[in-house]
Amino acid sequence: MRFLNLRSSALMVSMSALFVLLEIGCVSKKVPATGSPTNEPYTNGVVTNAFQAEACPWLIRLEDGSHLIPVELADRFKEDGLQVQFTFHYSRVNQGACQEGRPAVIETIVAE
């Protein structure tokens, strides 16, 4: 019986160490919200109001053709065709009736 306790203890320690190493590996590798690793901190996009009829007043079109629904986009950036560089993270906010993109909180933004 003592052998079983020692064996299960060693297994628990090994599993705990593996879990910690996996967590450290996931945290240390920064992947931008665009889904691919890059050295560039900003994402490029174009502000558009082309989907107003689909209940999407303002979107940001990304280079891959997908769209973000910016949460509380500042008025000075609400210009159709405005090229911007920005950082963001996805949001779980209710996107309402707009189905053209994913909600995102814009952290920093500059017009080109």
Tokens standing for residue 94: 């209710």
Rounded to an integer, the average pLDDT of 16-28 is 50
Is residue 55's pLDDT more than 50?
Answer: yes
Q: Are 59 and 103 in contact (CB under 8 A)?
A: no
d(CA 15, CA 9) in angstroms, rounded, equals 10
The predicted structure's pLDDT at residue 41: 85
pLDDT, tens digit, 9 for 90 and up, residues 73-90: 999 999 999 999 999 999
Residues recorded for the chain: 112
Tokens standing for residue 112: 């080109």
63 phi-psi bin (left φ>0, alpha ψ -120 to 50, beta other): alpha
